[in-house]
Amino acid sequence: MNNDLNSLVSNESDEQKVTPFEVEKISNYNKVITQFGCTPFSNDGNDPLFERFEKLTGVKMPSCYRHFLISHREFGEILNAYEKEKPIYLYTGRGPSSENMHLGHMIPFKFCKFLQDALNAPLVIQITDDEKYIFKDLTMDKIAKMAKENIKDIIACGFNVNKTFVFLNSQSMGMMYPMIIKIQKLVTLKDVLNTFGFPLDGKDTTLGKVAFPPVQAAPAFAETFIKHFLTKNGQFTEKDVRKIKCLVPCAIDQDPYFRMCRGISNQLEHSKPALIHFSFLPSLNGVDTKMSSSTPQSCIFLTDTVSQIRKKINKCFSGGKELLEEHKLLGGNTNNDVSFQLLKFFMDNDEKLKELEYGFNKGEITCSQMKGIAIEKITEHIERFKENRAKVDEDIYSQFTDVNKTLFFCYFFVL
Ligand code: TRP
């Protein structure tokens, strides 16, 4: 495998370590993006690629996504493929390590739903129950229950049932194994240790951990789904299926898996997966840590009641001054105001956001006013989610997770 995979774990400074298995603190995304070798989006939300996306698809890229998309790998290639009517599909996933999903988990899924509609593309969603069994102290029984609840939450994001396939790893090894062994044959132990930051001498670096990366990597190659992806004429040939392009929307910490894929794509004679990366939703406790289910006070869960949401946001970290008089005089700082940072996602209105930012930083908008707006917007969002979630019954669940599911590429394309 390519040497460029070496030493790409972002742990150069002690205060910031980013691997798929531990994200303690992210205070500087630019540093991670540079270290990982990704291409940053311009940070004013107006990257030319977004304009090109809009021109090609005729769909506006909502500002809530523009604010959270930080970088990519060859997103332009996906747009090229779309322009030429070549087949593309989307791949994302979820590790079921908690029964309740929180707002931060929903962002990539909501974005996938948006992309699925805009690009009219099939989407595959991997549920890594195996990963959570290997990496956490949980039983398979417990994980199975969480996975089921999580899958229902994911379905409630509104995916098109004819274009979406959700699969549980422990039940899909037959489908993935041919691709997994191809990856395992090419990637060395040294590559995996370097790319994923597993300690070399660690007694905790088990076989399960080092064998897992090819499992998450496999679905980024369309060949995995040769029996599931269909054209109007039926199954793709092996040669043709390898030309299908994959776009992986994911949080930046998941990049190493796909960097690994891209490093071996040529040897596999398979198109390289493209990526589009999200930053994390900030913790209620402060903007330089992320919302994390392991710290329940840091997040708003999709099951939280209106009064829980109100209480949590009223307590969240504020970028305003402690005393009202002082705030009015000196102004606050929206950069570390959690309510404002959350509103960047939940209020899709750039002008209003600008007004809030200006007003808060001048001291004209108070902390409690900012919190009040955040409470209103987030409550609306969660209530809408709950309505959709209540409609996800067993029948819908089995339609999304049918192991024999087929997904059609609907336009006629030139390979
Ligand atoms: N490992 C991811 C998690 O713990 C789940 C996952 C599997 C994933 N495949 C993916 C995430 C592809 C993004 C893209 O949540």
**Residue 312's pLDDT is what?**
96
Cα–Cα nearest to 10, from 255, 337, 290, 236: 255
Residue 152 has pLDDT above 90, yes or no: yes
Q: How confident is the model at residue 412 (pLDDT cuts 50, 70, 90)?
A: low
- As a residue count, the chain comes to 415
**Residue 5's pLDDT is what?**
40
Cα–Cα nearest to 122, from 228, 210, 17: 228
Report, as an integer, the average pLDDT of 381-410: 95
Report, as an integer, the average pLDDT of 307-318: 96
Percent of the chain with pLDDT over 70: 94
Residue located nearest, by CA, to atom 6 of ligand 1:
93
The CA 410 to ligand 1 mean position distance, Å, reads: 26
Residue located nearest, by CA, to atom 9 of ligand 1:
93
The CA 135 to ligand 1 mean position distance, Å, reads: 13
What phi and psi values does residue 290 have, to the nearest 5 degrees? -100, 160
Report, as an integer, the average pLDDT of 325-331: 93
**Residue 24's pLDDT is what?**
61
The Cα–Cα gap between 64 and 134 comes to: 34
For 269, left (φ over 0), alpha (ψ -120 to 50), or beta? left
- Reduced to 3 states (helix: H, G, I; strand: E, B; else coil), residue 252 is helix
Within 6 A (CB) of ligand 1 lie: 20, 91-95, 126, 128, 131, 216, 248, 250, 254
DSSP structural state of residue 274 = E
Distances (CA, A) of 255 to 20, 24, 198, 331: 8, 16, 15, 38
Residue located nearest, by CA, to atom 7 of ligand 1:
93
The CA 93 to ligand 1 mean position distance, Å, reads: 4
Q: How confident is the model at residue 232 (pLDDT cuts 50, 70, 90)?
A: confident
Residue located nearest, by CA, to atom 1 of ligand 1:
95
| Cβ contacts of 102 within 8 Å, gap of 6 or more | 291, 293, 299, 300, 301, 302
Q: What is the pTM of this model?
A: 0.94
What phi and psi values does residue 81 have, to the nearest 5 degrees? -65, -45
Residue 6 has pLDDT above 70, yes or no: no
Residues 244 and 89: beta-carbon distance below 8 Å: yes
Residue located nearest, by CA, to atom 8 of ligand 1:
93
Q: Residue by residue, what is the 3-state secondary structure of 119-187?
A: HCCCEEEEECHHHHHHHCCCCHHHHHHHHHHHHHHHHCCCCCCCCEEEEEHHHCHHHHHHHHHHHHHHC
Say how many C-beta atoms besides its own lie within 10 A of residue 356's C-beta.
Answer: 24
Residue 297 has pLDDT above 50, yes or no: yes
pLDDT in tens, 38-55: 999 998 889 999 999 999
Highest mean pLDDT among 151-165, 190-204, 223-237 belongs to 151-165
Report, as an integer, the average pLDDT of 194-202: 87
| Cβ contacts of 136 within 8 Å, gap of 6 or more | 97
pLDDT in tens, 13-23: 455 677 888 77
**Residue 202's pLDDT is what?**
74
Say how many C-beta atoms besides its own lie within 10 A of residue 28's C-beta.
Answer: 14
DSSP 77-130: HHHHHHHTT--EEEEEEE----SS-BHHHHHHHHHHHHHHHHHT--EEEEE-HH
Q: How confident is the model at residue 294 (pLDDT cuts 50, 70, 90)?
A: confident
Q: How confident is the model at residue 146 (pLDDT cuts 50, 70, 90)?
A: very high
Residue 171 has pLDDT above 90, yes or no: yes
Mean pLDDT, the chain, as a whole number?
A: 92
pLDDT in tens, 111-138: 999 999 999 999 999 999 999 999 999 9
The CA 216 to ligand 1 mean position distance, Å, reads: 7
The residue ranking higher by pLDDT, 24 or 91, is 91
Ligand 1 pocket test target in 109, 128, 153 with most atoms within 8 Å of CB: 128
Ligand 1 pocket test target in 92, 101, 105 with most atoms within 8 Å of CB: 92
Ligand 1 pocket test target in 127, 133, 216 with most atoms within 8 Å of CB: 216
**Residue 4's pLDDT is what?**
38
**Residue 2's pLDDT is what?**
41
Report, as an integer, the average pLDDT of 400-414: 82
